[in-house]
Copies of this chain bind each other. A is one copy, B any other.
């Protein structure tokens, strides 16, 4: 079933193609919109009024605060040394620890970006399309490239205008 019974959805959440997503064990806040081909794993938390665009993957350990834009094809990560097996048997959850990642209020993540495990993305920050984010990003800063490097501050007229 593409949306498991254990998903907690706020009021007015809009999932554009409910048969073409894979959500399980996650929490999604009010009025958030979720595109096609999105997967959100258990224990991931998505805030209110977010936009999660098509083809994006949000893994366990990720917390996305309110008013965040996540572009298309964005990949989150929760393990720095992933392996399929351990001592010749399949890895289980006991073999590794989820590294938490946080995206703060009003940030925007460009399409095709990859967000490494353990980073914190600041309020209102802008992650360039296709960036690979390996370090924390300060509030209201733009980063881009591979690995992502600090650019200028977000132009004033483009800062998050969410009412406090």
Contacts and interface: CB of A to CB of B under 8 A. Distances in A.
A108 B130 contact: no
Contacts of A83: 67, 69, 106, 108, 158, 160-161
Report copies per complex.
3
Interface string A19-50: 11010000000010101110100000000011
Given A31-B90, A88-B163, 17 more contacts: A16-B22, A39-B54, A49-B85, A49-B90, A50-B84, A51-B90, A57-B72, A57-B73, A71-B77, A72-B77, A77-B110, A77-B111, A81-B158, A82-B108, A83-B108, A86-B161, A116-B129
B84 A68 contact: yes
A132 interface: yes
Contact of A82 (B17, B31, B55, B69): B69
Chain A contact surface mostly: loop
